[in-house]
Each structure stands twice: as C-alpha cells, then as structure tokens.
Structure 1
Amino acid sequence: MAALKILLYLFLFPGNLALQKCGISIEEDGGLFRSFINMCVWGTISLGIALQFFA
C-alpha cells in the first residue's frame, strides 16, 4: 500500500507543485489547474519517450 501512495505522490507532484507556487489551495482549484499541469508534464514526457523509441 505504501508503494501506491508513493506512486500517487509522484504522479501528482507537478500539479501540486504548481498549485503551491501559485498560492492556490486544492479546495479553491477543484483539481482543474492541477490536472492541466499534470497532463502537460506527463504528456510531454510520454511524447518524448514515444518519439525516442518509435520514430
């Protein structure tokens, strides 16, 4: 169970960091900004990996 919590923390880290830097609480945001940041970060990483191996 601890391993899943660590994975969840790492997966949400970019969005949580952005919220913290902007001074926005999770309750104020509703998850939209955090989701957008996470999608951009993990999408960029996934695209880079896909281009490296499949292009």
Structure 2
Amino acid sequence: MCKVPQVSVSGYHHWLRHPASRRGQKEQELVEQLRQAHAQSKRRYGFPRPGRKSERY
C-alpha cells in the first residue's frame, strides 16, 4: 500500500497513529458544511456555489 503513494512504511504508520491537526479538523468541518448545503439545495447547484454563499453570511 505504501508503494503507490510513495510513502515510507514508518511515515504511513506515523500518520495512522496521530490525529488530524486543528487546521485539518477545521477543513473537514467546512467540507461537511458544504456537503450539507449542497444536499439541502437538492443538488441543484455545483459544489462551489454553496461555498460562495457561506462566505457572504
């Protein structure tokens, strides 16, 4: 599995053991909010459009 992304085995295991950074967690929260907005729009708009809407408010 480490050969495809060209990651060392120790680097992969380090990544598995450590939780996401605060920034990574915030990005995941933002992505989830965008997905929810996209679903609430009944998928009428593309994924970027609800993101632009959230920046305005």
TM-score exceeds 0.5: no
Higher relative contact order (CA 8 A, sep 6+): 1
**TM class, shorter-length:** 0.3 to 0.5
Q: TM-score, normalised by structure 2?
A: 0.41
Larger helix proportion of the pair: 1
Q: Which protein shows a greater Rg?
A: 2
